[in-house]
Structure 1
Amino acid sequence: MLIIGHRGSAGTKAENSIAGLREAIRVGADMVEIDIRITKDKQAVLAHDFHLYRSYKKIDLISRSTLLELQKRSGGTEAPIVTLKQAVKECYGKIFMNIEVKRSHAVGPVLEVLKGVCKEKEDWESIIISSLNPLILKRFRNKESDIQLAMIHHINPLDFIIWQRQLKLSAVGFHRLNINNFALQVAKELGLFTYVYTVNRPETAKRLESRDIDAIVTDYPERLIENLSKKNR
């Protein structure tokens, strides 16, 4: 079973930070998951929330702030805001990336960054674009035939089945409380990479490992790496 660092290594470092990305690489995670938001001046930055309050105790909205404004507001902290371009430079060639996109207006800015490093078909193999919204994934598919897509499920674990033909998915992500054997069976028959989020307890990870899940997303990649059997990683 592979280990995906959630927002870098969110349990031990600031989420979606350079320090978190480096920590995931250091401990030997197989993939890192990051979240994308778009600034007022169309720059892709790493952030889970649409505002700065939880991370920086600022009330600014990311979509109404320029990158420079966000950098000034987060500057001086342990984890200044990171651009997707910086994250790709930090990770590409060192660790697989799972880039979660939340809004459709992010498609263009994200592709602009990724096409700076992905020149050939095989260059896309270390990057997955994921989303809860299949329409966002459809926009990515329409713009880039070689891109790898993952559909994330929060409630109904079977949604990916009706979208597979249009999206040509490479992977499917399940919430740990909403997976079932039929969904897993179909995913395997379709040749999809399967992962479950967010798993922080070693005993839960081991149960999922026994169900032939390909990977888990965790806030504590080092802890899970130490507790899972090496033969299945």
Structure 2
Amino acid sequence: MTRLSVNINKIATLRNSRGGSVPSVVEAAINCQKFGAEGITVHPRPDERHIRRQDVYDIKPHIYTELNIEGYPSEDFLKLVIDVKADQATLVPDKPGQLTSDHGWNTIENEAFLVDVIKELKKNGIRTSIFVDPDLKMVEGAKRVGTDRIELYTEPYASLYMKDAEKAVAPFVEAAKLAHNLGLGINAGHDLNLKNLKYLVDMIPYIDEVSIGHALVADALYLGLHNTIKEYLECLKP
């Protein structure tokens, strides 16, 4: 079954808006796991506008599922990931001030760079995943750079889903099929929610993991965190 990794960045955004330590990102990580999440995702950015570097060090001792750290593979990022011995590093091609991830890697133009980064992570026993668009050439390029998994950037799917679900999912099915045939693991994330998640995993049954943050935290405001995680896990059942 596809695993659910909860991105807790939005918990940190709420905390930072007021200062202090409420709500606690450590407590959020503990509770997400207790309520059934099979992983915790964080995306520390250089400006620390949500998850901070220190948060990652604070959270790690409490992770008994998996810790997935997303980010642009700068020297500082790689040091952090290796220091805390993350289970997975998800590499994104974000610029320093970017609001949110909005595209995948050009795995052809960045091949040499990604090869070096992935070798360093693998040397330290860290599984790698790289953000890609549902472009077959980019998926083939992902295989060449040596990554363990790809993460399909699903915002285009989410945007079109309510208008034409079949059309929305089609390129993702093809990209995932190719990745699967190439022996790559498949993750997915960005703008997935309770409305569009089940259809995606039904159409692509070999997705290893989905990483969901914004929608899940927003749903938790109305449903509560425990009930929300339960609802997302229901969507992932075959």
Fold shared by both chains (TM-score > 0.5): yes
Is the 2:29–2:40 contact (alpha carbons within 8 Å) kept by the matching residues of 1? Answer: yes
Q: What residue in structure 2 maps to residue 4 of structure 1?
A: 5
Is the 2:198–2:236 contact (alpha carbons within 8 Å) kept by the matching residues of 1? Answer: no
In the TM superposition, 1:1-233 aligns within 5 A as: 1-7=2-8, 10=11, 17-37=25-45, 50-52=47-49, 82-91=54-63, 94-114=64-84, 127-133=87-93, 137-143=114-120, 144-145=122-123, 146-153=125-132, 156=135, 158-166=137-145, 168-176=146-154, 177=156, 179-211=171-203, 212=205, 213-219=207-213, 220=216, 222=226, 223-229=228-234, 232=237
Deviations 1:97-138 (A, max 9, x none): 1111224122452254135xxxxxxxxxx7111112365643
Shift of 1:149: 0.6
CA gap 1:215/1:231 in 2 versus in 1, 3 angstroms? closer
Shift of 1:204: 0.7
CA gap 1:181/1:215 in 2 versus in 1, 3 angstroms? same
CA gap 1:224/1:203 in 2 versus in 1, 3 angstroms? farther
Shift of 1:227: 4.9
Whole-angstrom CA distance in 1 between matches of 2:79 and 2:173: 37
Shift of 1:186: 1.1
Aligned-residue identity in percent: 12
Shift of 1:8: 6.0
TM-score, structure 1 length as denominator? 0.63
- Structure 1 unmatched runs, 5+: 39-49, 56-78, 116-125
Q: What residue in structure 1 maps to residue 97 of structure 2?
A: none
Say which structure is richer in strand: 1
| Aligned residue identity for 1:171 | R
- Structure 2 unmatched runs, 5+: 17-23, 94-104, 158-170, 217-224
Whole-angstrom CA distance in 2 between matches of 1:34 and 1:205: 20
Total equivalences in the alignment = 184
Note the aligned Cα RMSD (angstroms): 3.5
Q: What residue in structure 2 maps to residue 121 of structure 1?
A: none
Deviations 1:157-212 (A, max 9, x none): 7523213222x222111122255222110111123222221345323111012111
Say which structure is richer in helix: 2
Q: What residue in structure 2 maps to residue 44 of structure 1?
A: none
| Aligned residue identity for 2:129 | A
TM-score, structure 2 length as denominator? 0.62
Is the 1:137–1:149 contact (alpha carbons within 8 Å) kept by the matching residues of 2? Answer: no
Whole-angstrom CA distance in 2 between matches of 1:24 and 1:101: 21
Whole-angstrom CA distance in 2 between matches of 1:10 and 1:200: 17
